[in-house]
Chains A and B, each alone.
Chain A
Amino acid sequence: MTDLTRLTASEIAGLVASGDASAVEVTQAHLDRIAAVDGRINAFLHVDTDGALAAARAVDERRAAGDELGPLAGVPVAVKDVLATRGVPTTVGSKILEGWRPPYDATIVKRLRAAGTVMLGKTNMDEFAMGSSTEYSAYGPTRNPWDTDRIPGGSGGGSAAALAAYEAPLSIGSDTGGSIRQPGAVTGTVGAKPTYGGTSRYGLVAFSSSLDTPGPCARTVLDAALLHEVIGGHDPRDSTSIPAPVPDVVAAAKLGATGDLTGVKLGVVKEFTGEGAEPGVTAAFREAVDTLTKLGAEIVEVSCPHFRYALPAYYLIAPSECSSNLARFDGVRFGLRVGDDGNRSLEEVMSLTREAGFGPEVKRRIMIGTYALSSGYYDAYYGQAQKVRTLITRDFTAAFTQVDALISPTTPFVAFPLGARTSDPYQMYLADLYTIPTNLYGGPGISVPCGLSEGLPVGLQVMAPTMADDRMYRVAAALESAVGTFTPPAL
């Protein structure tokens, strides 16, 4: 019999729709796989066995009753622990929210449930999505299924590793500076960051409000597009959500899968080739560019001179917003409370709670952000960073007058060994060097596997104009049709 965990989401949906497999069978197969391998991967912080089986049974009942099922009905999904799930623990990878069960569902989670997908559980992440290796999780690191001594990327390492370890065919991530794309790249999976405002942030525990973008993760481009279509679209509960239909990403992925990119003009970002990247990454990228040319794409080099300031601007804007967003974690209304012994003042309890509840990277960013927003420093730091953001946006808009989409390696390096970059924050921050500009601009970006470097996956990033998410799916699907998907060694 087929191993249901090795199938794509669209294949599973087909089996469930035709009755060749029940949603319960599919779900049980994935729960069994999690039980078998997650001890070595630690992709999940919480597995919702009962909830998943109940959701699967509901799909089977609806099918038996002759109800029409959505395109992903009965397909298991793993959800990054950054999204609020009603009654199901939501920790954001932090001790400060240990045991918190939200009284409400994030909009994306609501849409996943309405579509008949089956939520398996919540995936591991760097605390508050701050990190690039998932080593900053308060609940232990996630390991890369390609090599369990290496990191799976971050902050959404759990969501990416769950795919690569065949624990789930689909997962949800969130991308503030690369937290979907970079883990996708280093685990040989597909990760898409939609246009900012194209997916709802309601129920996404905020790190940096103007950058956070939830999005789909999958093992194939088509699966990512199918998931994107289910979770995307306007949400009146999110003021920054764009009131426009989701671009037709599924049709674009199918078009791309024909392997024809004739008439598509792609720009290679000059500033992101060579500089700082590992030779193996550069080589795999060059080879992918040749492949894209063979598929009919016209390739030109494009300069985006301000991209080099993206990293410093990001490390002012994101911490500034986080210093304010994370102020609510004070032990008063939810989550951890420390020192409430009847003898301490409210202020002391609040500060002891935050001292004990936040990890070192979170504290570092709160400190940076508090400083950058302080009176007298605001203009020099936060204000200046916003100007850089405007210049980066101009680089993008200028580039998109010449090309349909931009391409670059997703990350400068492949999965590195656990512990290799935790002692120097800057070395860790470099992992997001190529992904951050897209967040500052607000456009969509996708990472698709393009080859291997010394046996480890390399990702290619496609960046498109805002609300032209379909373009990146077409290019990514075309590349995938040529290079195929990548399977890690057996665990």
Chain B
Amino acid sequence: MTTTLPAYDDVVARYEPVIGLETHVELGTNTKMFCGCPTDFGGEPNTRVCPVCLGLPGSLPVANKAAIEATIRIGLALNCSIAEWCRFARKNYFYPDMPKNFQISQYDEPLCVDGYLDVEVNGETVRIGIERVHLEEDTGKTLHVGGATGRIHGATESLVDYNRAGIPLVEIVTKPIPGTGALAPEVARAYVTELRDVIRSLGVSDVRMEEGSLRCDVNTSLNRPGQEWGTRTETKNVNSLRSVERAVRSEMLRQASVLDAGGRITQETRHFHEDSGDTTPGRSKETATDYRYFPEPDLVPLAPDAAWVAELKAALPELPRLHRRRLQLQWGLSDLDMQSVLNAGAVELIEATVAAGATPAAARKWWLGELSRRANEAGIELADVGATPSQVAELQGLVDAGKLNDKLARVVLEGVVGGEGSPTEIMNNRNLEVVSDTGALTAAVDEAIVANPDVADKVRSGKVAAAGALVGAVMKTTRGQADAKTVRELILERLGVQS
């Protein structure tokens, strides 16, 4: 069934959205949640496993203290209360990528509860309530071979890789977020972005959505103004910040069209499709599952020591929002300029470049200019563009010392990005240094004057602006390696004209 979707402005004029987000973060601990297996990516299937994470009969879990610490730090950064006593719980359901056919998670006794995260949208601060932050284990990966869909039904064979089984996962659940109106999609995106930055600043996860170390489910409902909240749907498979925004928007439009037609919203799980930007219903069976939660009897309750929690709180790093405000002041940027730095994902890169010796203005120029252009062209993150902050600072140092002009600096930068070495090495190896040998330059200037007698005469007669043609000629013979300002001065000097 295809229906024409209503216009977005029209929808938000008639309906109020309530959104909610559930985010899973894979922690970057050295070992898994309940055993000593390494967590690094890339091993052959089933090489990062042991009796515990394979769920072999008789094996027992032991909780990873580093993961508990990381979760508490996340909770503290999100202004949560940390439970004085809590337990793990078993979530029971059969699925072959779950070695024990239950997941060790937390149910009604999470580690962190009742916090908030402030995010900025269009210069306004929106406070997002955090319901809970809890700790659980990841599952393995099932690969269905054969069959048309690549899904379990119709497959001729199923292969399971348990390397990821037992990786610590933190689940962060917001309270319902009403009152954002037309901004709901942007608020959702801003929240996930801010959450990502907070977690990254804690150094507990690399929080990369593309690699799945940050995953997001989006809940959306619509109601008429003044009426009760509507039935919500849960959208899964939202794998980028942009998709978070699109998923909320798409679900708002879909629900509005159902409601407009007098229909009812079914409480269900829906899947977001990156290519089409819309959602389709998941298996309704999933919502009917009874997980038979009960306290995990193989693990003793967690009772984080209050003094330890206080210590962790005191040692929290400056959180991104405050950190950004401080940098903005230090760099002397307007709100608008700071926003473009943020949008480019360049805050940390500029900060590190400044730390390596560049001025804020120069650092910003490189990262937002040439390097952003290259990243956009290649469709990659700015941080992955191939130049490091220290290389950019070094490059700027060469410019400041007069060894490179702007044009040459770009050529050197290309070498840097291409992996040819440090800016100084590339400059030397490719012989790109600005020609500052006055003897050689004078010869080139004299040659240009001889070759362009008419122009030289004009300059001699006082038409100083005509010197530009001679400068161009010199730059050409020196293959751009001369400093244009020096060349101009030399020409005027040779022609006996005061500059």
Contact = CB atoms under 8 A, between A and B. Distances in A.
Do A and B make up one complex?
Answer: yes
A104 B62 contact: no
Contacts of A83: 58
A485 interface: no
Interface of B: 51, 54-63, 90, 92, 94, 96, 99-102, 152-153, 156, 158, 160, 290, 292-294, 297-300
Contact of A327 (B51, B56, B100, B293): B100
Contacts of B290: 374-375
Interface in A187-227: 201-206, 208-210
A103 B51 contact: yes
B100 A328 contact: yes
A90 B60 contact: no
Contact of B60 (A237, A320, A333): A237
Contact of A209 (B62, B156, B158, B297): B297
Contacts of B152: 345-346
A332 B51 contact: no
5 contacts: A102-B58, A201-B60, A239-B60, A239-B298, A327-B94
Contacts of A84: 51, 56-58
Given A202-B59, A205-B57, 9 more contacts: A84-B56, A323-B92, A327-B94, A328-B57, A328-B99, A334-B56, A350-B96, A370-B292, A378-B292
Chain B at the A interface: mostly helix, strand, loop or mixed? Answer: loop
A320 B102 CA distance: 13
A178 to B, nearest CB: 19
A239 B299 contact: yes
A290 B256 CA distance: 84
Contacts of A378: 292, 294
B60 to A, nearest CB: 5
Contacts of B300: 239-240
A332 B160 contact: yes
Given A333-B99, A373-B292, A346 B59 contact: no
B158 A346 contact: yes
Contacts of B92: 323-324, 327, 373
Contacts of A206: 57-58, 298
Interface residues of A, number: 46
B129 to A, nearest CB: 26
A260 interface: no
A338 B299 CA distance: 33
A216 B298 CA distance: 22
A210 B90 CA distance: 14
A321 interface: yes
A106 B336 CA distance: 63
Contacts of A323: 92, 292
A205 B51 CA distance: 12
B62 A236 contact: yes
A84 B92 CA distance: 24
B292 A333 contact: no
Interface in A356-415: 370, 373-375, 378, 382
Shortest 6 CB-CB distances between A and B: which pairs? A327-B101, A209-B297, A373-B292, A210-B297, A84-B58, A203-B58
Interface string A250-266: 00000000000000000
Given A240-B300, A342-B156, A328 B55 contact: yes
B56 A237 contact: no
A239 B61 contact: yes
Contacts of B297: 208-210, 240, 321
A238 interface: yes
B72 to A, nearest CB: 18
Contacts of B90: 324
Nearest to B157: A342
A333 B294 contact: no
A92 interface: yes
B96 A106 contact: no
A-side interface mostly: loop
Nearest to B46: A333
A167 interface: no
A205 B298 contact: no
A60 interface: no
Question: B58, B153, B294: which has the most chain A beta carbons within 10 Å?
Answer: B58
Nearest to A210: B297
Contacts of B101: 327-328, 330
A317 to B, nearest CB: 9
Contacts of B59: 104, 202-203
Nearest to B153: A345
A329 B58 CA distance: 12
Interface string A88-105: 001010000100101110
B60 A238 contact: yes
A71 B298 CA distance: 32
A95 B211 CA distance: 42
Nearest to B296: A209
Contacts of A324: 90, 92, 102, 292, 294
A104 B51 contact: yes
Contacts of B153: 345
A23 to B, nearest CB: 28
Contacts of A205: 57-58
Nearest to B291: A375
A191 B256 CA distance: 70
A202 B156 CA distance: 37
Contacts of A103: 51, 56
Contact of B56 (A238, A320, A333, A345): A333
Contact of A375 (B62, B292, B298): B292
A99 to B, nearest CB: 13
Interface in A303-347: 320-321, 323-324, 327-330, 332-334, 342, 345-347
B101 to A, nearest CB: 4
A346 B58 contact: no
B62 A332 contact: no
Contact of A239 (B54, B63, B293): B63
Given A345-B153, A350-B94, A334 B57 contact: yes
Nearest to A204: B58
Given A210-B297, A327-B101, A346 B60 contact: no
Among A83, A328, A345, A375, the one with the most B-chain Cβ atoms within 10 Å of its Cβ is A328
Contacts of B63: 239
A261 to B, nearest CB: 36
Nearest to A317: B297
A316 to B, nearest CB: 11
B292 to A, nearest CB: 4
A202 B57 contact: no
A254 B96 CA distance: 52
A63 to B, nearest CB: 32
A333 B58 contact: no
A330 B96 contact: yes
Nearest to B156: A342
B216 to A, nearest CB: 27
A90 B298 CA distance: 21
A346 B97 CA distance: 12
B285 to A, nearest CB: 11
Contacts of A327: 92, 94, 100-102
B156 to A, nearest CB: 7
A413 to B, nearest CB: 31
A104 B56 contact: yes
A262 B241 CA distance: 76
A289 B184 CA distance: 77
Interface in A425-474: none
Contact of B57 (A92, A239, A345): A92
A439 to B, nearest CB: 13
* Chain A CB within 10 Å, residue with most, of B100, B101, B294: B294
Nearest to A330: B101
A236 B299 CA distance: 12
B96 A102 contact: no
Q: Which of B62, B92, B160 has the most CB of A within 10 A?
A: B62
Contacts of B160: 332
A240 B298 contact: yes
A52 B314 CA distance: 58
A100 B57 CA distance: 10
